[in-house]
Amino acid sequence: MEDHEDCKYYKCDLIKKADWFLTSPGIHLRYYCEEWMDKLLGWVKYFYIPGLDYWRYKKLPGYKELSAYLDRCDREMMRNIIFDNLKEDFKQCAENLIKEAHLYNRRSPPHDD
């Protein structure tokens, strides 16, 4: 949701004049689960989309090591093992994020909505 100050930055005159503008929902995960996302994208690239390109601070972070390791292993077995590990790692990332949110909410002063 954008308030009047944020609405001023839009190109559309109707939105520029608005007091409020309801935007599409989205989640910005900057700094959260970034390493996990690298692993997920590496897994997708190796097993499903060889031409996939991604970047976080550098091109294809961790992919060279992952592919070198997987090239020496049983492909089918490792695909499933790594996917299971990705699920567990994501669960841990989500639990950590929830804990951080609870800590933040306890530190934040109450506000009127």
* 72 and 37 in a common domain: yes
Q: Give the model's pLDDT for residue 49.
A: 97
**Can you tell me the distance from the alpha carbon of 15 to that of 58, in angstroms, rounded to the nearest whole number?**
37
Q: Which domain holds residue 61?
A: 31-107
DSSP string, the chain: -EEHHHHTTSSSHHHHT-SEE--------TTSSHHHHHHHHHHHHHHT-TT---BSSSBSTTHHHHHHHHTTS-HHHHHHHHHHHHHHHHHHHHHHHHHHHHHHHHHSPP---
Residue 112: inside a domain: no
Residue 80: inside a domain: yes
Q: Which pTM value belongs to this model?
A: 0.65
* 9 and 40 in a common domain: no
pLDDT > 70 fraction of the chain, expressed in percent and rounded: 89
* 8 and 44 in a common domain: no
Half-sphere exposure of 42 (CA within 13 A, CB side): 22
CA distances from 64 to 42, 67, 93 (A): 9, 5, 23
pLDDT above 70 for 29: no
pLDDT above 60 for 111: no
Q: Give the model's pLDDT for residue 108.
A: 56
* 43 and 73 in a common domain: yes
